[in-house]
Each structure stands twice: as structure tokens, then as C-alpha cells.
Amino acid sequence: MKLQGKVAIVTGGSRGIGKAIAKTFAREGAQVVVNYVRASVEAGKVVEGIRKAGGSAISIMADVSQRDQAKRLVDETVKQLGRVDILVNNAGIRIEGTVLDTTEEDWDLTMNVNLKGPFNCMQAAGRVMAKQGYGKIVNVSSISGLGGAPGGELAYCASKAGLINMTMVASLDLGQYGINVNCVAPGWTVTDMVLQAAGSEKRLREIKKVKAGMASMGRVGDPQDIANVVLFLVSDESSFISGQVIVADGGRKDFMSHA
């Protein structure tokens, strides 16, 4: 029970990687806040599953790209659970577009969710953690933020690169308060987002085969693979690690410099 007595907020916790993180934290003894924007039914199912397994969880709706809602997410967590020990900035979106055809609306939306959202939550939660003298923050970026992506994902890649840099600077700002700030950069992982991008189950299988061939481990990522890394970074086992980016991509042979 590595997280016994801890309170954790997981943004975008209703599905995919966020869902795996929420369930993993609960199994390790944390009280988990499953954040969502529109997926209320899915968030409810995650909470229900955690409770049936003997864990503790609640769900809170908040659009983290909106400053007041991100603050409300943190304030409501403190009101209901007393504190905030862990924040995982997992919520994100991916909109395709090149430098020539990305619209201003798509750019702004991507930056608001993928970059401003984590900033809003880090600031709100960081203020609570600073008073406590303890905290763990993990930002979920992507190897796309390190250059490991094909063309046509301009806004997404830029936002994930910004999140990596923000992690490093935030670790310098918050370390004096006993707060660790780290980042996980997943490789190609099977989530609702990649299924939506693929467009069909058949196309998804084709892409999985290609991506598996790019990894030295010979497979694609599962949300639990990423959740395991995040668990390490929020546990006391990583107390001397901060400002780091952990690449979890199965040993991509085309981007080994990122490992």
C-alpha cells in the first residue's frame, strides 16, 4: 500500500491512461479524485469499480482549461478529503493539423487543454501542497513532445513539448516546498484517443502492428504500463527524483536517444 493515506487528483481520469492511474492509486491505498469534463457516466463507472474493489474514490467535474474550474477541483477535493498529496495532469486532446492547415481555433483549444490545464491545476494544487510541505505532481506528456512523432500533429506536439519544459521549471519553483514534479512521456499506447484517430478497429490493428515493430520490446503500450511509471513517481520511492522526464515507449528503435 504505497499510497496509504494519500489523496490524489487524476485529471481526465474517466478513461484510458487516466483510468488505469486512478485504479492503480486506489489499489495502493489512495483516496482518488476522478476528474472529468463530459464523461460523467464513464467517471461514475471508474468510481464504482474502485469502491467495489474496496478502495475510496469520488468524481468531480471540471474543465481544467478554465482557471476557475481547476481551482474549484482542488478546493472541492480539500473540502471533501482534507488535503491534496498527489496531482496527475493526464487530461489531454489531440487534433491533427500541419503548420499550413492548423486553424487558430484548433491551436488555441489544444494549448488550453494540454498546456494551460496542467498549469492551472499545478498552481492551484501547488499552493495547497506548499502549505502542507509535501506533494507529488506528475505531468503526462508524450514522446511527441520530444520529436518522436510523424508530421501533421503540430499543435499536439508543441503542447506536449511545452509541458515537458514546464515540468522542469516547476520542479525548480516547488522543490523548496517539498514538492516533486516529474513527467512521463508515453510512446504509442492503446487508448480511446488512438482508436478515435485510427477511425476503425481494422485500421487500429494495422497501426498496432507497425508501432509494435518500432519498439525493441516488440509490442505497443498498455495504459497500465504508464500507470506503473506514474505510481513510482508519486510514491516515496522516488523522493529524490524531480524535474525528470521518464520515457515509457517500449524502447523505440527509431528514437532511442529519448530513452
Average pLDDT of the segment spanning 100-126: 98
In whole angstroms, give the CA distance from residue 37 to residue 41. Answer: 11
Q: Is residue 221 predicted with pLDDT exceeding 80?
A: yes
Local confidence band at 199 (pLDDT 50, 70, 90 cut-offs):
confident
Tell me: pLDDT of 170 over 90. Answer: yes
The pLDDT-based confidence of 253 (bands split at 50, 70, 90) is confident
Delimit the domains of the chain by residue range.
7-186+223-247, 191-220
**pLDDT score of 67:** 98
Predicted local confidence at residue 201, as pLDDT? 85
> So what CATH class is 7-186+223-247?
alpha beta
Please give the Cα distance from 120 to 74 (Å, whole number).
10
| pLDDT for 200 | 87
How many Cα atoms sit within 13 Å of 239 on the Cβ side? 6
Return the higher-pLDDT residue of 177 and 152: 177
| 49-76 pLDDT per residue, tens | 999 999 999 999 999 999 999 999 999 9
Q: Which among 36, 134, 156, 177 is annotated as catalytic?
A: 156
Catalytic (active site) residue 177: no
